[in-house]
Amino acid sequence: MHILVCGGAGYIGSHMVKMLVGEGYEVTTFDNLSTGHAWAVHGGRLVVGDLLDEAGLRQLFAAQSFDAVMHFSAKSLVGESVRQPAQYYRNNVVGTLNLLDAMRAAGVKRFVFSSSAATFGNPVADRIDESHPQQPINPYGETKLMVEHVLRDYAVAYGLHSVSLRYFNAAGADPDAALGEEHDPETHLIPNVLKAVLDPGRGLKIFGSDYPTPDGTCVRDYIHVHDLCRAHLQALHFMDREPGAHGFNLGNGRGFSILEIIRAAEQVTGTSIPFEWQPRRAGDPPVLVADATLARTALAWQPAFGNIQQILETAWAWHRKPAAGR
């Protein structure tokens, strides 16, 4: 099978490309390299292009036949989406519509979509399963939910088969430390915690100390990037036997607060990690924890990295590597 991976030079997408190549798939990465890195594409072919370029998409699908598409390309910063919603709707929604139209014209019928727990908004249950109301509280979450709605309609009208995978907090690095999380600027908690160890002068900021949680900081469900990628592979097999549009939540089912992550990172690194408090960021729910029972049963998916220590250890191994060659 030949898989097109849109956003395959980014954090999760590059891990997906590496896994697909390792499993014997033919892979083409399509990425505009605005936040991704060419060095992160381990195997297959890299095509530099943008989903907002309809002519470029037509050329891509005319030049090569694909069996399925995995879509990781998106702007994904919650705070930025609140400040600049136009960019998010244009990039995440219009870009995806362009991709889906190019797939339709080429007769490609299978699509795995990188969605988000941000589609749920503020939780009304301790664990969020697929029946939980989807009521986003920021434009980023709205864009992901809009695409999920589009996929349901495209399944009915055009026979497009899709699986939307709603990540909770992606974390960690490739177990062999060949890939890891490398954003500029970096906004995710775990890499910022570890970078504060490697460069004490950079400082660590924690946004919000007054959330309605046990220690006042946000609680999140952290899922290893390798486990997320494995779920994408399982989704390909799932579509072989289940047509239509489907959505699954992906998480470990346990939440950790920001302060708990910092304490766990101190154990992994053997270093005390100072930080400074900052006001809350707009659009951040207090708690997001997954109930991934449906993914475990329907996709036959089981996370291999079940505790936060394992996840932090893989990330720490990556961040300690010299940056040269990245």
Contact status, residue 167 vs residue 223, Cβ threshold 8 Å: yes
Q: Where are the beta strands (DSSP E) in the chain?
A: 2-6, 26-31, 45-48, 68-71, 110-116, 161-167, 169-171, 205-207, 219-224, 245-250, 255-257, 276-278, 287-288
Rounded distance between C-alpha atoms, residue 108 and residue 96, angstroms: 14
Cα–Cα separations (whole angstroms), residue 299 to 11, 28, 89, 248, 252: 23, 24, 30, 9, 15
Q: Do 5 and 13 contact (CB within 8 A), yes or no?
A: yes
253 Rama sector, left if φ>0, alpha if ψ -120 to 50, beta otherwise: left
**Distance from C-alpha of 47 to C-alpha of 69, rounded to nearest angstrom:** 14
Report which of 214, 323, 199, 219 is spatially closest to residue 269, judged by C-alpha positions.
199
- Amino acid identity, residue 77? L
Cα distance between residue 140 and residue 74, in whole Å: 9
Closest CA to 253 of 134, 165, 126: 126
Choosing from 25, 140, 167, 211, which is the catalytic residue?
140
Q: Is 154 a catalytic residue?
A: no
Strand order in the sheet with 2-6: 45-48, 26-31, 2-6, 68-71, 110-116, 161-167, 245-250
Active-site residues: which are they?
Answer: 140
